Amino acid sequence: MLTTLQRALGNDFWLDQFGPRVLARGSSYEDEKRITLVSVDAEGATTICRGSGGNVYRQTLRVTDDAYPRLIAKCSCPVKTDCKHCAAALYHLMAWFTDNPSLPQMPESHTVSPPYEDQIIENVPARPHLTLGSYEFSAYMPKTGKMQRQLQHRAALAFTYDGLRTSARSNSEIIRIDGRIRQRIQRQPDAEATLRQTLKKMGFSVATRQSKALPDTAGEMLQMADDQTWLEFARQGIGALRDAGWEVEIKPDFAFNLHDIDHWYADVEEAPGREWFDLELGIVVNGQRHSLLPIVLHLLRSNPELLRASELARRGDDEHLLIDLNRARHDSPALRVALPYARIKPLMATLGELYLGNDSGPSLRLAAPDAARLSSIDDMAMTWRGGDRVRDFARRLRESNRVDVAAPEGLNATLRPYQLEGLNWLQTLRELEVGGILGDDMGLGKTLQTLAHLLTEKNAGRLQRPALAVMPTSLIPNWLDEAQHFTPQLRVLALHGAGRSKHFGDIDQYDLVLTTYALLPRDLAHFTARPWHLLILDEAQNIKNATSKAAEAAREIQAGQRLCLTGTPMENNLGELWSIFHFLLPGWLGDSKRFSRDYRTPIERHGDAERMAHLAARVRPFLLRRTKEQVARELPAKTEIVHWVELSDAQRDTYETVRVAMDKKVREEITRNGAARSQIVILDALLKLRQVCCDLRLVKSMTPRTTHSEKGKLASLMQMLDELLSEGRRILLFSQFTSMLELIEQELHKRGVSYSLLTGETRDRRTPVQQFQSRQTPLFLISLKAGGTGLNLTAADTVIHYDPWWNPATENQATDRAYRIGQDKPVFVYKLITRGTVEEKIQKLQQEKAALAAGLLDGRHAGDWKLADEDIDALFAPLPGRRQATKSS
């Protein structure tokens, strides 16, 4: 008669109670004869099973005797029910019932095996066993919207007692069955605790999540905080544990199974014409060369955060980055190495932003000027093959400011140390056949350094062809004066004015030819008819629009070297810098579309500091910039003072009337065309508000009868002038509006104050400058556009900006007419600002635009400036105390 248990096993209904994996492990345990049947009765059985860790577990199997029988399988293991041990017991019972089909039902259990004789074994040492493994899988990353490769790592701790291994997680005793002898091996809890503490000090903690990295039978699962901790453990901890007597088992898939790096190498192959060179950087592991470029590019593209500049800066030189050299070889086992960040950092400084557009080949093809990048890795211990000239280029560019160079013989000036450094830099660029931007602050002697560079070339016999210098018309007299004073040996020809055509045939007889941006496109045929020794663009921001006629003409002229002189290579946006480099080193910053994608958009719209850092690193070797604060200790301090002015009642009423009308007009224009296409309307509206702030007579709708007694800011100015002139001050007074200067002139005539005047209508610029410099007049009225550049007015000790201009670079250039090298007096700068008006709002815009320029030129954070809706709201906000008008829709 069949028992209830026999019927249940025969129906196979219990198979659904266990998963396929558990059944497979149970079948394996039965095949390995791990099960011993202790007792069996009509409704169930009791068995014991030897686990893989040396533990012995007891199973109790029962079947309910009802219409719907259920199997109740319990075990003393940590899983408790329906485990692999129970599955093994059921398979064993099926085989046992096959051999004993007629077992009668009995009221009491039938004992199959006689009782064991227990034997206690003490003082067996615990030997630690640590298993290491990893598991790779793909997970969806919400941040990127993509599946991304992930790795989980685990360590499993177990202890071995006299050949029997038990999980550190289990507290059960260790039992060995030897015939009818059951040996009970006592564990050593104090020793186990000490061994656990060793792992804890290394950074291990009990795993809080399940993982497929290792099977549960391997021991108690442990984890570490991050990959860097795992990596350092693999590099140092494994060896330390083994030295201490630990048994460390490393599974083949363990991600931190590292190979040693034999050495590093760099291969450079130069093109025959030296226009480009190929660079390969790599390591040798187990005697095989492995290019790092494809691997690093993969890391950058799959996990860009990993090698961002901020992340690299956070890493210590003693930390390491794990990479798999066989990542792309799916049929090859992993070949993992640890790259020290001490080498990764200069490597990334070399590659910079190049990963944006390169493929994953073993080498990079770089333009000749890219040799400057090698300076960051040239000192690294590695095997170099080829590229001696390229490496020399990098070394000389890096050390251009370390070489002592003498001023050229015959120079009628004593160059200061920073000017000698500038001369040496210009000479180095000439020898390396590349151009550069001399971007010193205004007044530090960019023209003098350039003339010294030309004289050095002439003295060395290299000035076989003339140099061409292009500049604003206002600077022609300045260049002529400085060349005559400092380098009289240079033969200089100024090609400007109506009679210039008669000198075209004499160009080759001169060392230096001067022309203007306005004339360059007209006379281009004469300038492209010959190659020039040197092409200089002074105030190079004049080609900030790459599509302007002057910019296009300049790019057509052939020269052995191209130089740009400008203290403001970027005034408004990064596109202006691109335009200058498009002339200087074509292709260096990519084409306009790529530059906008890689730099302008991330920096200007999103304030991306990493992109700014990449761009700054890209231009740094070819941009020499020194500020007054850095180099000119003899320059007196400059003190800036905002002189606040209150609007009169009449001005306030007029301001509000104009503001409401302009606010409505601007918003309607923005609604129709968008903010980007409404700039002209916005600027025109701001202009009208600024005119109200200056003087009501500047507003065309105001008649003399309604404004003759309304002085406003002008009255405040005259009060200041009375006091300053009485103290003997020598003053430069700037205004954007020539009509405002006319009103100031009228007031000066009434007071009998002598002055000089320079506007766009002034043809003889030299005479008013000489009058002021020779102290014939104490006051110089200058329109911002006409006198903002190209003047040396060191006789001044006071600068007044009557009306603020939104671009701080323009205002600073004007201020620098007085704040220049050679000044021996403190310079005070006054800014007249009407409180609460658009002038005050403009000051905030000035600070934001200054931050954008400083981020590129000085390495500070930039990119946050952008004209948002709230900026327009602020610019057209009502005066304090006035009710906000309703916006037009």
User: For 637-658, how does the pLDDT look when each residue is reduced to its tens digit (9 = 90+)?
Assistant: 677 877 777 787 788 899 999 9
Are residues 194 and 69 part of one domain?
Answer: no
Q: What is the C-alpha separation between 665 and 678, in angstroms, rounded?
A: 10
- Is 886 a residue whose pLDDT tops 60? no
Are residues 591 and 466 part of one domain?
Answer: yes
If you average pLDDT over each of 260-264, 691-695, 855-859, which comes out highest?
691-695
Give me the phi and psi of 537, to 5 degrees please. -110, 110
Question: Which carries the bigger pLDDT value, residue 700 or residue 229?
Answer: 229
Residue 348 in domain: yes
Are residues 596 and 457 part of one domain?
Answer: yes
Give me the phi and psi of 146, to 5 degrees please. -130, 160
User: What would the mean pLDDT of 748-777 be, rounded to a whole number?
Assistant: 91
User: What would the mean pLDDT of 694-703 be, rounded to a whole number?
Assistant: 79
Are residues 689 and 818 part of one domain?
Answer: yes
> Which one-letter amino acid corresponds to residue 280?
E
Tokens of 194: 């000490």
Rg of the chain (C-alpha set)? 42
Question: Which carries the bigger pLDDT value, residue 638 or residue 777?
Answer: 777
- Residue 642 buriedness (CB in 10 A; 0-12 / 13-18 / 19+): middle
Residues 6 or more apart from 3 whose CB is under 8 A from it? 41, 42, 43, 103, 105
Residue 282 in domain: yes
Q: What is the reported pLDDT for 567?
A: 79
Q: What is the reported pLDDT for 641?
A: 76
Nearest to 363 by CA among 378, 351, 379, 381: 351
Domain span including residue 57: 4-113
- 575 pLDDT band, cuts 50/70/90, is confident
Q: What is the C-alpha separation between 665 and 661, in angstroms, rounded?
A: 6
- Is 189 a residue whose pLDDT tops 80? yes
Are residues 744 and 805 part of one domain?
Answer: yes
Domain count, the chain: 5
Residue 625 in domain: yes
Q: What is the reported pLDDT for 861?
A: 47
Are residues 79 and 62 part of one domain?
Answer: yes
Of 176-185, 439-448, 662-671, 797-806, the one with minimum mean pLDDT is 176-185
- Is 461 a residue whose pLDDT tops 50? yes
Q: Quick check: 623 and 853 in contact, CB under 8 A?
A: no
Residue 776 in 3-state DSSP?
coil
Place of tokens 């400007």: 496
Question: Which carries the bigger pLDDT value, residue 180 or residue 366?
Answer: 180
Of 419-428, 534-543, 799-808, 839-848, the one with minimum mean pLDDT is 839-848
- 224 pLDDT band, cuts 50/70/90, is very high
User: For 29-75, how does the pLDDT look when each residue is reduced to its tens digit (9 = 90+)?
Assistant: 988 888 988 888 766 889 999 887 667 888 999 887 776 778 899 99
Are residues 246 and 157 part of one domain?
Answer: yes
User: Given 47, 78, 113, which residue is the final one in a domain?
Assistant: 113
Residue 122 in domain: no
Residue 599 in 3-state DSSP?
helix
Are residues 684 and 604 part of one domain?
Answer: no
User: What would the mean pLDDT of 759-773 be, rounded to a whole number?
Assistant: 88
Are residues 149 and 30 part of one domain?
Answer: no
Instruction: Supply the DSSP symbol for 235.
Output: I
- Is 628 a residue whose pLDDT tops 90? no
Residue 401 in domain: no
Residue 410 in domain: no
Q: What is the C-alpha separation between 210 and 349, in angstroms, rounded?
A: 40
Q: What is the reported pLDDT for 377?
A: 63
If you average pLDDT over each of 183-192, 193-202, 310-319, 795-804, which comes out highest?
193-202
DSSP string, 426-482: HHHHHHHT--EEE-PPTTS-HHHHHHHHHHHHHHTT---S-EEEEE-GGGHHHHHHH
User: What would the mean pLDDT of 291-319 be, rounded to a whole number?
Assistant: 75
Q: In terms of DSSP bridges, do strands 534-538 and 467-471 run parallel, antiparallel, or are they unpaired? A: parallel
Question: Which carries the bigger pLDDT value, residue 557 or residue 381?
Answer: 557
Q: What is the C-alpha separation between 729 and 797, in angstroms, rounded?
A: 7
Q: In terms of DSSP bridges, do strands 383-385 and 263-270 run parallel, antiparallel, or are they unpaired? A: parallel
User: Given 609, 631, 653, which residue is the final one in a domain?
Assistant: 631
- Is 678 a residue whose pLDDT tops 60? yes
User: For 349-390, how does the pLDDT look when each residue is reduced to its tens digit (9 = 90+)?
Assistant: 556 555 545 555 666 666 666 666 666 666 666 666 666 666
Q: What is the C-alpha separation between 779 and 776, in angstroms, rounded?
A: 9
Are residues 145 and 240 part of one domain?
Answer: yes
**Count of alpha carbons within 13 Å of 143, Cβ hemisphere only?**
5
Q: What is the reported pLDDT for 109?
A: 47
Q: What is the reported pLDDT for 271?
A: 66
Cβ burial 667-696 (10 Å sphere, 16+ → b, else e): bebbeeeeeeebeebbeebbebbbbbbbbb
User: Given 250, 274, 291, which residue is the final one in a domain?
Assistant: 250
User: What would the mean pLDDT of 514-525 be, rounded to a whole number?
Assistant: 95
Residue 44 in 3-state DSSP?
strand
Give this prediction's pTM.
0.53
Mean pLDDT of all residues belonging to the chain: 82
Q: What is the C-alpha separation between 470 and 548, in angstroms, rounded?
A: 15
CATH (domain of 493) = 3.40.50.10810
Q: What is the reported pLDDT for 417?
A: 87
Q: What is the reported pLDDT for 399?
A: 67
Are residues 148 and 98 part of one domain?
Answer: no
User: For 791-835, how does the pLDDT look when each residue is reduced to its tens digit (9 = 90+)?
Assistant: 778 888 889 999 987 677 777 778 877 766 566 666 888 899 888
3-state secondary structure 663-732: HHHHHHHHHHHCCCCCHHHHHHHHHHHHHHHHCHHHCCCCCHHHHCCCCCHHHHHHHHHHHHHHCCCCEE
3-state secondary structure 466-486: CEEEEECHHHHHHHHHHHHHH
Q: Quick check: 216 and 157 in contact, CB under 8 A?
A: no
Residue 888 in domain: no
> Which one-letter amino acid corresponds to residue 743?
L
Residue 400 in domain: no
Are residues 533 and 597 part of one domain?
Answer: yes
> Which one-letter amino acid corresponds to residue 706?
T
Number of Cβ atoms within 10 Å of the Cβ of 700? 8
CATH (domain of 812) = 3.40.50.300
